Amino acid sequence: MSKTKPTDNNSLPFLETKKSVAKVLNNYIQTSKDCKGNVLVQKSPQEIAEELNLKELFEKGFKDLTDLESFIKIYLKHTNHLRNPRYVGHQVAVPQDLSGIPDWIHGTINNPSSLYEMGPSGATLEGFMINWMLSKLNWFKGNDLYDFSNHKDNGSGTLTHGGSIANMTALSAARAKIAPESWMEGSPKDLVVMGPSTSHYSIVRSLSIMGMGKNSFIPVPVDTNEVIQTEALENIYAQIKKDGKRVMAVVANACATSTGLFDPLNKMADFCKKHQLWFHVDGAHGAVALLSKKNKHKVNGIKYADSIIWDAHKMLRVPALCTAVLFKQQEDQWNSFHQKGSYVFHENEVVGIDSMPYTIECTKSALGTKLFWSFALEGKKAISLFVENTFQQAQDLYTYLNERIDFYCPYIPQSNILCFQYCPDKLSNIQQLKLRYALINSGKFYITSCEINGERFLRTVLSNPLTQQEDFIAMANTIKSLAEALFFEKRQ
Ligand SMILES: *Cc1c(COP(=O)(O)O)cnc(C)c1O
């Protein structure tokens, strides 16, 4: 027997500690919102590790509350401040101020939601939110969102840690449909997947992981703004058949990660219906258009899909990660993983909803609670308004940049993503990229960049309700002066 027994006592008092953390976070939120301080200052990992005093804390722990508080303050200093209105970077939700509460509760009770008996509340909230998402697609056949039974022709779905896993889940279900023997015997060699050449990389990566190989993805050409050319579908399909292959799924972008433009889902749905092909809509970013009366038409045809994915941590203000993978026919989900572990799947005795049989993950966090919370904080309407506003922000930025002669926008935005170039007649692709780094290293703004058809663009994703016209003007002017300092000064 060891002399010192482990204890289950925190050395720090619960309530007092939470209160002091809340105070520090509140200050973080307010200063970020007020645009005080930089969006991002990047130090090297060595510098951050030293400033945080990681080695000592790791050995000895926090001495007292002051110790912990100072750690959190330094930690927060070295973060990307998403709440700063001049953060217009990646497709990552700017959360509501109180979005962190479900993570706090989960972190305190640790009830994974994939087995009902390990967390009935979390699993119920997941079931409820899935019902609601299905109802948005007309795939819910219950009488009311509290109806968790398996109605005939019902849709179904589950929440996963992210869109990449969700895409793989949907593709596995598509394979189980066309080639159920794959689960035992491996993938037949004649299966291919068609989709825009600009499909998210997680599609091809899933196919590789599933043992089908990268080459099983048959890219369909896209137009200059990376939207699928539906006219090409028939010819490519004919060639696939001629080569003796079978199409396991057709994938659509709704919307494309780079440009935020939507593939014409109706046309793709018609094509899939005609040839009886599985239709998968990658709605990671844009499925949210379903919530906006004004923007719904952009995903017309989505309800004809067999499967869709929808990221809540991009556009529904949910902190990472939370994605839904949804199926029009529940049987398709039931059949996707033919694997039984006797300790978890005892169908006849279980109460409630177990999502475990249908997920790649085993343990997962209470994702439904996070998703529900987003709505519960302000009510459903506020989320729709938020979505509509982000789409409008991209329009406004477009209108502003399009009026300036020194900026070029290649398309009218359809979502909250907008790409542009500064003086494309004078600056090369490499120089556009250099501008992006100069801008983010200034700490004043955070934007991303992408390639569209091999050309480099600056890219913004608008998802902060506080970002407004004056920020657009300041951003454009900062880009201009950086470009002058970097590329034009010598000539003057
Ligand atoms: C972001 C995105 C994904 C990947 O989702 P993660 O949640 O980041 O894994 C997949 N497809 C599209 C179209 C996306 O925009």
Least Cα distance to 322 among 261, 370, 383, 362 occurs for 370
**The last residue of a domain, from among 334, 353, 376:** 376
Residue 488, pLDDT score: 87
Say if ligand 1 is within 6 A of residue 282 CB: yes
Q: Is 448 helix (H, G, I), strand (E, B) or coil?
A: strand
Task: Determine if ligand 1 sits within 6 Å of the CB of residue 311.
Answer: yes
C-beta pairs of 391-397 under 8 Å, 24+ apart in sequence: 391/289, 391/292, 391/294, 391/295, 391/415, 391/416, 393/462, 393/467, 394/260, 394/418, 394/460, 394/462, 396/469, 396/472, 397/460, 397/462, 397/472
With contact defined as beta carbons under 8 Å apart, do 280 and 254 qualify? Answer: no
Considering only CA atoms, which residue is closest to atom 6 of ligand 1?
A: 163
Query: What is the number of domains present in the chain?
Result: 3
Residues 269 and 414 in one domain: no
Cα 14 off chain centre by: 33
323 Cα nearest atom in ligand 1? 7
Confidence of residue 342 (pLDDT cuts 50, 70, 90): very low
Is the pLDDT reported for residue 160 higher than 90? yes
One domain for residues 162 and 60: no
Residue 390: CATH number of its domain: 3.90.1150.170
pLDDT in tens, 413-426: 999 999 999 999 99
Coil, helix or strand at residue 279 = strand
Same domain, 201 and 275: yes
Q: Where are the beta strands (DSSP E) in 153-196?
A: 156-160, 191-196
Same domain, 255 and 308: yes
Return mean pLDDT, the chain.
Answer: 93
Ligand 1 centroid to residue 320 C-alpha, Å: 12
In a domain, 96, yes or no: no
Residue 101 covered by a domain: no
Phi, psi of 107 (to 5 degrees): -65, -20
Question: pLDDT per residue over 88-121, tens digit each?
Answer: 999 999 999 999 999 999 999 999 888 888 999 9
Q: Which of 358, 376, 394 is the last residue of a domain?
A: 376
3 pLDDT tier (thresholds 50, 70, 90): low
The C-alpha atoms of residue 414 and residue 260 are separated, in whole angstroms, by 6
- For ligand 1, say whether the CB of 323 is within 6 Å of any of its atoms: yes
98 domain residue, yes or no: no
Joined together, the tokens standing for residue 109 give 């009770």
Q: Is any atom of ligand 1 closer than 6 Å to the C-beta of 206?
A: no
Residues 38 and 173 in one domain: no
Q: Are 467 and 390 members of one domain?
A: yes
Dump pLDDT digits (tens) for 55-94: 999 999 999 999 999 999 999 999 999 999 999 999 999 9
CA of 307 from ligand 1 middle (Å) equals 15
**Encoded amino acid at 162, one letter:** G
- Give the pLDDT band (50/70/90) at residue 334: confident
State the pLDDT confidence band at 9, using cuts at 50, 70 and 90: low
pLDDT at 483: 96
Instruction: Check residue 1 and give its pLDDT.
Output: 46
Residue 360 sits in a domain whose CATH number is: 3.40.640.10
The 10s digit of each residue's pLDDT in 357-396 is 888 888 889 999 999 999 999 999 999 999 999 999 999 9
Last residue of a domain, one of 347, 376, 405: 376
Nearest to 398 by CA among 414, 383, 382: 414
Asked if residue 37 and residue 112 are part of one domain, the reply reads no
In this structure, the answer to whether residues 208 and 241 fall within a common structural domain is yes
Q: Is residue 226 lining ligand 1, measured as CB closer than 6 Å? A: no
48 pLDDT higher than 80: yes
* Any atom of ligand 1 within 6 Å of the Cβ of 359: no
Q: What is the pLDDT of residues 255-311, one digit of tens each?
A: 999 999 999 999 999 999 999 999 999 999 999 999 999 999 999 999 999 999 999
Asked if residue 229 is part of any domain, the answer here is yes
Q: Is there a single domain that holds both residue 30 and residue 167?
A: no
Closest atom of ligand 1 to CA, residue 202: 10
Rounded to a whole number of angstroms, the CA Rg of the chain reads 24
Question: How would you classify the pairing of strands 417-422 and 156-160?
Answer: unpaired
Please report, to the nearest 10 degrees, the dihedral formed by the alpha carbons of residues 179, 182, 186, 192 taken in order: 30
DSSP 318: P
This prediction's pTM: 0.95
- Position 187 pLDDT exceeds 50: yes
Of 288, 284, 268, 254, nearest to 137 by C-alpha is 288
Question: How many A from CA of 419 to the centre of ligand 1?
Answer: 18
Q: How many helices (H) and strands (E) does the chain have?
A: 17, 11
For residue 199 and ligand 1, the question of a CB distance below 6 A is answered with no
pLDDT at 338 over 90: no
194 part of a folded domain: yes
- Per the CB < 8 A criterion, the answer to whether 187 and 210 are in contact is yes
> For residue 320, which atom of ligand 1 is closest to its CA?
7
- For residue 474, is pLDDT > 80? yes
Is the distance from the beta carbon of residue 369 to the nearest atom of ligand 1 less than 6 Å?
A: no
Task: State pLDDT tens for residues 247-263.
Answer: 999 999 999 999 999 99
3-state secondary structure of 324: strand
**Pair 72, 170 in one domain:** no
pLDDT for the residue 336: 82
Handedness of CA 467, 452, 171, 282 (dihedral sign): positive
Range of the domain at 481: 380-491
- Looking at the fold, whether 169 and 299 belong to one and the same domain comes out as yes
Residues 359, 385, single domain; the answer is no
Q: Is 94 contained in some domain?
A: no
In a domain, 294, yes or no: yes
Residue nearest ligand 1's atom 15 by CA: 257
Percentage of the chain exceeding pLDDT 70:
95
**Is the residue at 7 inside a domain?**
no
Atom index in ligand 1 nearest the CA of residue 256 equals 13
Q: Is the predicted pLDDT of residue 233 greater than 60, yes or no? A: yes
- What is the SS3 assignment for 368-409? HHHHHHHHHHHCHHHHHHHHHHHHHHHHHHHHHHHHCCCEEC
How far apart are the CA of 200 and the centre of ligand 1, in A? 7
pLDDT grade for 161, boundaries at 50, 70 and 90: very high
Residue 164 CA, ligand 1 centroid: distance in Å: 6
